[in-house]
Chains A and B, each alone.
Chain A
Amino acid sequence: MWTSMLLTLATYSYVLYKDTAAFRFAEHSFMATTFAVAVVVAYQTLVSNAFLPIAKGDFSYIIPIVLGLLLYTLPFKRVRWVSRYPLAIIVGVGTGIAIRGAVHAQMVGQVLAAITLPKTPTPMDWFNFFFSLIAFLTSTSYFVFTKEHKGLFKIPTQIGRYMLMLALGSYFGNTILFRMAMLSGRVEELLKVFGIIPWR
């Protein structure tokens, strides 16, 4: 308990004072533990995802293990190229997953949401509908790359920038809430450990 709080204070010394030896100590201790935890977790992942299936007779899992080991050719100049094969699978999976999610939820889904009319609308609902529709259209125009933002085209892109700022500002404000709550939680623990306020 005490250790963790001393390490926390050491970390905050970087922010509140400057890069101190205490911060270095916290930093390196943290890295060492994380490395160790990562190794242990990786080992457990391998056991449950690869070794156990192999032990049960599913030998197909030898393939990814061999592929993974190919990564370690990296330091050797002549055979370095084989490390590209395991990467090909990783990158392929990542790109595929990213694309498929993007097209459905982020593109078609957004258009659908933008044109969905309010049900049983009040005048305010209509205003809100048109406001977000226009905000969507204008701010998208800001992201046109094959046309310089000049002349008539400057008007929608300018409004679009304002709309983007409105969105980003609200996001900024909202994030402050969570971050302050986190920090105040650490302050609370500090005060408790040092006996300044009682444990409830």
Chain B
Amino acid sequence: MTLAKASCEFEHEYDQRSKRASIKSFEIEDESYLYAYTPFIRLKNSEDILLIISGRGFSFVVLVLMFVFFYVALQLAKKGKAPQIRRITAMDAIDEAVGRATEEGRPVHFTSGYAYATLSSEQGPQVLASIGILSHVAALCARFDVPIIYNTCIADSLPLVEETLRAAYRNEGKPESYDPKSIRYQPEQSPYVAAVLATLQRERPAVNMMIGGLYYESVVMGEAGNMIGATQIGGTANIHQMPFIIATCDYAMIGEEIFAASAYVTKDPLVTSGIAAGDWTKGLLILLTILGAVMELSGIPVISQLLKW
């Protein structure tokens, strides 16, 4: 099994001080490299059958470690030694916000963002986390008889959302109150934005929650929600939208917080134990960063070699 050799060879000299580069010589072995992604993968030894793709070895170790940490945390939780989780204010605010909606007799609006319009992209987990939070919100809405509106453009998430809402109403003993029309689908991103704008303006929800794989819609929905004076709770792990969530929402969750929140609302130690596993991983890699920086500075590039393994 031979994957392509690094086929486009051109030497280039780069002068660090002046930040100038120049090409000295070049050669092309095979034009097919233009279409192949293989140059990015270097095989260590073509004789081996099971090979770790070079450069990804350490990442694999980290991933395995995380599974181990998760297992340990779960076992600890089963023994009743669940770690304490710090408060997530945005989640605590949900109860109050739904309460306000009850008083004002206005609905609650919930949405999970564009997320490339499918669960099978790398945005999928954010949408799942969002639906996890939705199950909590829906239960509250069912309890207090507040209508809930869910706008989405992710067709393959519809079965999940339906089951989540139905389960929420059933668990509160009001299966007949579940209205399938509260889930509204629009194809693609911009019609979805249009529909959310329309919903906000026409049905004037008291609470506007946008949690998930948000894209440009974050600032549009956030400002439109502000205009009608809704309490806004937002969250995303997409870095490029975090500033807008923070700017437009009363309560914002950024990055890891939305994943943690979906566990946090369950208040179930078995579920929240995983958050501790995440903290341990962070701690480990932080130690590695400090150690690595010190060693690099003293001229022993062991850690950086390890990371590149």
A–B direct contact (CB < 8 Å): yes
Stretch at the interface among B2-10, B92-100, B143-151, B194-202: B194-202
Contact B188 A146 (CB under 8 A): no
Contact B307 A108 (CB under 8 A): yes
Quick one: given A145-B279, A148-B86, A149-B86, are A171 and B240 in contact (CB under 8 Å)? Answer: yes
The number of A-B residue pairs with CB atoms under 8 Å apart is 168
Cα A75 to Cα B239 with chains together (Å) = 37
Cα A164 to Cα B257 with chains together (Å) = 14
Decide if the interface of chain A is mainly helix, strand, loop or mixed.
helix
CB-CB contacts below 8 Å: B271-300 with A: 275-276, 278-279, 281-282, 285-286, 288-290, 292-293, 296-297
Contact B128 A99 (CB under 8 A): no
Contact B159 A112 (CB under 8 A): no
Is residue B68 within 8 Å, beta carbon to beta carbon, of the partner chain? no
Contact B286 A140 (CB under 8 A): yes
Cα A119 to Cα B297 with chains together (Å) = 12
| Across-interface contacts of B172 in A (CB, < 8 A) | none
| Across-interface contacts of B121 in A (CB, < 8 A) | 94, 97-98
Contact A143 B256 (CB under 8 A): yes
| Across-interface contacts of A87 in B (CB, < 8 A) | 119, 156, 159-160
Cα A91 to Cα B160 with chains together (Å) = 11
Min Cβ gap A58→B in Å is 21
| Tier of interface size on chain A | 35 or more
| Across-interface contacts of A50 in B (CB, < 8 A) | none
Is residue A168 within 8 Å, beta carbon to beta carbon, of the partner chain? yes
Min Cβ gap A65→B in Å is 15
| Across-interface contacts of A175 in B (CB, < 8 A) | 240, 243-244
Is residue A8 within 8 Å, beta carbon to beta carbon, of the partner chain? no
Contact B289 A136 (CB under 8 A): yes
Quick one: given A108-B62, A133-B293, A146-B84, are A93 and B239 in contact (CB under 8 Å)? Answer: no
Interface size (B, Cβ < 8 Å)?
71
Contact A116 B304 (CB under 8 A): yes
Decide if the interface of chain B is mainly helix, strand, loop or mixed.
helix
Whose C-beta in chain B lies nearest to the C-beta of A71? B159
Is residue B173 within 8 Å, beta carbon to beta carbon, of the partner chain? no
Cα A111 to Cα B283 with chains together (Å) = 12
Whose C-beta in chain A lies nearest to the C-beta of B17? A120
CB-CB contacts below 8 Å: A129-185 with B: 133, 136-137, 140-141, 143-149, 164, 168-169, 171-172, 175
| Across-interface contacts of B124 in A (CB, < 8 A) | 90-91, 94-95, 97-98
| Across-interface contacts of A120 in B (CB, < 8 A) | 16-17
Cα A34 to Cα B186 with chains together (Å) = 9
Is residue A103 within 8 Å, beta carbon to beta carbon, of the partner chain? yes
Cα A98 to Cα B122 with chains together (Å) = 4
Cα A169 to Cα B191 with chains together (Å) = 29
Specify which of B83, B194, B197, B279 lies most central, judged by the most chain A CB atoms within 10 Å of its CB. Answer: B194
Contact B285 A34 (CB under 8 A): no
Contact A115 B156 (CB under 8 A): no
Contact A30 B194 (CB under 8 A): yes
Is residue A101 within 8 Å, beta carbon to beta carbon, of the partner chain? yes
Neighbour of B120 across the interface among A26, A90, A100, A169, CB < 8 A: A90
Is residue B81 within 8 Å, beta carbon to beta carbon, of the partner chain? no
Whose C-beta in chain B lies nearest to the C-beta of A173? B243
Quick one: given A19-B198, A87-B156, are A169 and B243 in contact (CB under 8 Å)? Answer: yes
Cα A137 to Cα B122 with chains together (Å) = 26
Other A-B contacts than A31-B191, A171-B240, 12 sampled, CB-CB below 8 A, are A30-B191, A34-B191, A87-B160, A95-B125, A98-B123, A99-B63, A103-B59, A103-B63, A107-B59, A120-B17, A144-B86, A147-B279
- Interfacial residues, chain B to chain A (CB-CB below 8 A): 16-17, 56, 58-60, 62-63, 66, 83-87, 118-125, 128, 156, 158-160, 162-163, 186-188, 190-191, 194-195, 197-198, 201-202, 239-240, 242-244, 246-247, 254-257, 260, 275-276, 278-279, 281-282, 285-286, 288-290, 292-293, 296-297, 303-304, 307-308
Question: Can you identify 19 A-B contacts, CB atoms within 8 angstroms?
Answer: A27-B195, A34-B187, A34-B190, A37-B187, A74-B158, A74-B159, A91-B124, A93-B120, A97-B122, A98-B125, A104-B56, A107-B59, A111-B289, A119-B16, A137-B290, A145-B256, A147-B279, A171-B239, A171-B243
- Interfacial residues, chain A to chain B (CB-CB below 8 A): 11, 14, 18-19, 23-24, 26-27, 30-31, 34-35, 37-38, 71, 74, 80, 83-84, 87, 90-91, 93-95, 97-104, 107-108, 111-112, 114-117, 119-120, 133, 136-137, 140-141, 143-149, 164, 168-169, 171-172, 175
7 pairs of A and B residues whose beta carbons are closest in the complex:
A94-B124, A115-B292, A172-B243, A120-B16, A98-B122, A104-B59, A38-B187
